[in-house]
Amino acid sequence: MRVTEQQVFGVLVNNYQRARFQSLRLQEHLATGKQVLQPSDDPGRFHRIVGEQTTLAKLEQRLRNISTATTRVELADTSLQGSTEALSRIRQLAVQFASDTNGAAERAAGAHEVRALLQQLFQLGNAEFDENQPVFGGTSRHGFAEGLTVSTPVTLTDAVADTLTVRIDGVTSGLIDLTSGTETLSGAEVAARVQSRINTDASLLAAGKSVSVTYENARLVIASNSDGSNANVEVIGGSARALLGFNGGSAGNGAATFAPTVVTQAASANSGGATISQGQVRTASVASFDNYVVRFTSPATFDVVNTSAPVTVTASLANVGRVGAIDTGVIDPQRATLDSYEIQFTSSTQYSVVNTTTGSTLSTGNTYVSGGAIEFDGLRVVLSNGQPGSPVTGDRFTVALTPKTVLGGQTYTSGAPITFDGIQFAITNDTASPAAGDLFHIVSQSRYAGDSVTHEIEVADGEVIPTNVLGHQAFSGPNVNLFETAQHLLASLRGNFKAGIVESLGELDRALSQMSAAQAEVGALTNRLEATSSALEDAKVLATNTLSSFADIDLARTISDLTLQEYAIQAAGETLGRIFENSLLKHLR
């Protein structure tokens, strides 16, 4: 077979080009440090590299998740530690002021520190991990309206007690029909009915507003499904309003995980026809956490008085027996009146209780026990015999709450906001205007506005770790609401009520135990996150090494191969030059 010069020349050029290509490819490997730059380089190896890169990306994401979760858990631990310290200090004050060496002035002074510590507890419970990311509030915080106690079962009666009007996030519903007949429902069934009918109201649907309704602790709670400071709920009318407990109650928005609230309620003895809205704490920083009463002095005027105050007991000058009051206080601020009373001894062993303001006898034939509690209309009086001594027939003791006036001689306007000490509510004519002597109670409480959703992070395929402690477990349950415990102590200190202070000690002990349990849970979470992080770091090192073994070049070998290719290029070039020297092409030139 004849081999032409063109064929020889073509073979040598191809060899030269292949050597140049291999040299360029090796230079790319050296520049990138990678031995597989595209699938065609090594399909099997490229597939393994992609798999290891995916594994490494997952590990790095999980480590970032743990870093974020660790920050959240550390904030929770700091807040719980601060709360424990505040509670411990509150308990120290309770022990100090439970002593008989303290009087009204000393206890009132101690109340100032307890109030400051209570404010601190709210701040710690409302800690945020990031803007609008509550540490203890689950995933979101919701505006709410909580009603008064409802007796179940509830009978809804068509055209008599079957409607509600609500305002959700500032949008007012139409008149919501809850039934089409007479129905008797359990608390849970009423909650489900109210929720379904509110969520199908045309006005609320058009505005994209909806609620969740629950029956908790014998009360209905309507919560907005929106969250944040603009989320709020109010029940403002309807024939079923009183039946469902919304002729009072409390409300709050979703601005804070734990909302200081006030529960409003009309006194059962009212003769007028006015109703009161749910109470709200609009400015928590100035809240006193005290209890109040609105007293109508006429249908057109009212006073607001602070009932977190001492109850005075005055012995009649005509008394013969040797008996004195050793403790007095308010035990139920929602039942307390502003009336005066007398404890009248009908014998040395029996007494009657008379409301001297109304002239009515509350009880008679009661057995007297020295040091025993005498309770009526939300008050407690403890009388004790002297040494020696006992009551004598005809002995009398005047009992009266001594509230402090907050607002006096106010002009009443139906539906107008009433605001003081950071609190706001409205009293509105319903069947009639209020009557002189009508009372409306405003009692400080608190409510958890977060949800029950747990933050979880993925640490392995199909494995997640919770990263938060829910606030209603640590602060407001399951055993005790530490905010309301502090509020109870605060009212007892301001009321110079020793028994109330002593009762707070037991609640404070339970609150501290509850806080310790939450701290233990946080400690366990911290340990698990640390252990998981360590394991993931080890896995990341292994994945990185494996990826390197598949993807990275052998530097010495690559340099050696590149040197050989450069020799090959040089040799091919010289061969081409010699062939060209002896070829016909040179002679033709």
DSSP letters spanning 302-334 = EEEEE--SPEEEEE-TT--S-EEEEEEEES-TT
Q: What is the pLDDT of residues 39-91, one digit of tens each?
A: 545 565 555 655 656 777 887 888 888 888 898 899 999 999 999 999 999 99
Q: Residue 298 above 60 pLDDT?
A: yes
- Cα separation of 144 and 166, whole Å? 11
**Phi and psi at residue 365, in whole multiples of 5°?**
70, 25
Q: What is the mean pLDDT of the chain?
A: 87
From residue 2, how far is each of 188, 300, 584 by CA, in Å?
Answer: 102, 127, 16
Q: What is the pLDDT of residues 308-359, one digit of tens each?
A: 999 999 999 999 999 999 999 999 999 999 999 999 999 999 999 999 999 9
Q: Retrieve residue 50's tokens.
A: 């992609």
How many beta carbons lie within 10 A of that of residue 10, not counting itself?
A: 11
- Cα separation of 185 and 529, whole Å? 47
- Average pLDDT of 425-434? 95
Domains in the chain (CATH in brackets) are: 50-136+473-543 (1.20.1330.10), 311-401 (no CATH)
pLDDT of residue 472: 86
- Average pLDDT of 96-116? 95
Burial class (CB in 10 A: 0-12, 13-18, 19+), 518: buried
pLDDT of residue 554: 43
The stretches of 368-497 forming alpha helices (DSSP H) are: 471-474, 482-494
Q: Retrieve residue 192's tokens.
A: 């489900």
Listed in order, strand segments (DSSP E) in 79-208 are 128-130, 133-134, 144-146, 154-156, 163-168, 171-172, 176-177, 183-185
Contacts of 281 (CB under 8 A, 6+ apart): 252, 259, 260, 261, 262, 287, 422, 423, 424
For the ranges 23-32, 134-143, 276-285, 357-366, which has the lowest average pLDDT? 23-32
Handedness of CA 116, 118, 122, 124 (dihedral sign): positive
Q: What is the pLDDT of residues 168-194, one digit of tens each?
A: 999 999 999 999 889 999 999 999 999
User: What is the pTM (predicted TM-score) of this model?
Assistant: 0.84
Q: What is the pLDDT of residues 201-213, one digit of tens each?
A: 999 999 999 999 9
- Cα separation of 306 and 63, whole Å? 54
SS3 209: coil
- Average pLDDT of 391-418? 96
- Cα separation of 25 and 312, whole Å? 99
Burial class (CB in 10 A: 0-12, 13-18, 19+), 478: exposed
β-pair partners for 345: 351
